[in-house]
Structure 1
Amino acid sequence: MYIIVVGAGRVGQSLIKIATERGHNVVVIDRDENKCSEIVEKHDVIAIYGDSTIKTILEDAGAQKADALVTTTNDDAVNLLTVLVAKELGIKSLVSLVSQPDHALMFRRMGVNVMENPAQAVAEYLYRVLQRPSIRDFMSIGGGEAEIFEIVVTERAAVVGRTLDELKLPLKDTLIVAITRDEEIIIPRGDTMIRDGDRVTVFALARRIEEITKLFTG
């Protein structure tokens, strides 16, 4: 893919690193000349010092052949104006950070994929880890109404040595999606037995999460 990344701050640099390591062509635009020089030294990219809201700057970045544009600045106005110009230039895939949740709807109405308030998202993730250290990873769905999460089964858990059929889970509210065991992914069936150390991926309504956590960790 040919990707234009606007902003060479912390988020932008992380994205640039991932994209270049996976073989994508990346052009970076930033208003800070020093950041442009720094990013070119670190990664195999083209960096353009300039204002991404100006049409000619995006054209210089190769907008006519770009597959995607991602804005990563903490200024919603800059991000919004940039994606407006990018859309006019025909870039199909547009992604943007949005610092203020109230602004997200404006981006979505333009067909932009949005990552809202990344600092808040990180804070919420850390808080969830503090609350439920046995949960390795999670994704909130439906504004917090449900979650998909991975939980590690402990040896003292009541589920160890029992099949899914024997667990009598609240089926309307809970779904066991997958089990990872010794790096093998198992698609569970009713006769699948749970073992100590299994990493179980669960979809559950929020009101069931504490109950499920206790069931799998003891």
Structure 2
Amino acid sequence: MYIIIAGIGRVGYTLAKSLSGKGYDLVLIDIDKEKCKTISAELDALVIHGDCTKTKILEDAGIEDADIFIAVTGKEEINLMSSLIAKDYGVAKTIARVSEPEYKDVFERLGVDVVISPELVAANYIEKLIERPGVVDLAIVGRGDAEILELVIPQNSKVANKKIKDLGRPKDYLIIAVYEDKELKIPDGNTELKPGERILVLVKSDSVDEIRKFFTE
């Protein structure tokens, strides 16, 4: 898979570092010449110094062969413009970062496939953790219609020391993993939920509170 990342600030660098060495054809673009020199020595990727809104720079990056174009510079107008240019070159999937959440709908209406707002994601994440006591961690799945909750089984929980098949469970959830002595295991019906263990539960968003209480209260 051929991936171009425009902007190697904190978000772009972290993403590039994660993808580097995993078999992707990875190209990075940034306007900061010194940053390009530093990153090219650190990561297994082609690093190009230049303006990602210029067609010459995008062509040098191989935009015509790219499968994914990701624009995560610090300027929304650059992210939008470069993503639309990439789309015009036939890139199948474009992803752009916005800092102002109200711009998200605008980007999507103009044709950007995926619009990410780290600030909005962080705010929503913190809000959900505040609203859901007993949840250690969570992840949003799909378009927000499901969540993965990380829970710890309390000593006095009604599910403690029971096998999954014996829970008499509510609907709309699935235990997808259990941590036993820090080792992640895929459970089956005979897996026993022990007090103090962490579990990962896939839940429909409208059933989160019910399922959280079922396991932790």
TM-score (norm 2): 0.82
Deviation of residue 141 (structure 1)?
6.5
Give the equivalent residue in structure 2 for 1:99: 99
Decide whether the 8 Å contact of 2:71 with 2:95 is kept in 1: yes
Deviation of residue 151 (structure 1)?
1.7
1:195 has 2:194 as partner: yes
Q: Which moved more, 1:13-22 or 1:121-130?
A: 121-130
Distance in 2, matches of 1:130 and 1:21, equals 37
Give the equivalent residue in structure 1 for 2:138: 137
Distance in 1, matches of 2:41 and 2:205, equals 47
* Unmatched tracts of structure 2, length 5 or more: none
Deviation of residue 43 (structure 1)?
1.1
Give the equivalent residue in structure 1 for 2:52: 52
Number of residue equivalences? 212
Percent identical pairs in the alignment equals 31
Distance in 1, matches of 2:151 and 2:130, equals 14
Distance in 1, matches of 2:59 and 2:205, equals 46
Give the equivalent residue in structure 2 for 1:149: 149
Equivalent AA in structure 2 for residue 48 of structure 1: I
Deviation of residue 72 (structure 1)?
0.6
Q: 1:78-106 deviations in whole A, cap 9, x for unaligned?
A: 11110111112222221111222332234
**Candidates 176, 179, 183, aligned match of 1:178:** 176
Indicate the RMSD between aligned Cα atoms, in angstroms.
Answer: 2.7
Decide whether the 8 Å contact of 1:29 with 1:51 is kept in 2: yes
Give the equivalent residue in structure 2 for 1:74: 74
Q: 1:70-129 deviations in whole A, cap 9, x for unaligned?
A: 001232211111011111222222111122233223433455332432023123324444
Q: Which moved more, 1:12-21 or 1:131-140?
A: 131-140
Equivalent AA in structure 2 for residue 176 of structure 1: L
Distance in 1, matches of 2:45 and 2:175, equals 39
Deviation of residue 161 (structure 1)?
2.7
Distance in 2, matches of 1:205 and 1:124, equals 14
Distance in 1, matches of 2:153 and 2:127, equals 21
Equivalent AA in structure 2 for residue 96 of structure 1: A
Structure 1 pair 20–205 and aligned structure 2 pair: CA distance change class (3 A): closer
Deviation of residue 17 (structure 1)?
0.3
TM-score (norm 1): 0.81
Distance in 1, matches of 2:146 and 2:64, equals 40
Structure 1 pair 115–177 and aligned structure 2 pair: CA distance change class (3 A): farther
Decide whether the 8 Å contact of 1:134 with 1:151 is kept in 2: yes
Give the equivalent residue in structure 1 for 2:89: 89
Equivalent AA in structure 1 for residue 95 of structure 2: V
Structure 1 pair 152–78 and aligned structure 2 pair: CA distance change class (3 A): same
Distance in 2, matches of 1:142 and 1:54, equals 33
Which secondary structure does the structure 1 equivalent of 2:186 belong to? strand
Equivalent AA in structure 2 for residue 40 of structure 1: S
Deviation of residue 164 (structure 1)?
5.1
* Unmatched tracts of structure 1, length 5 or more: none
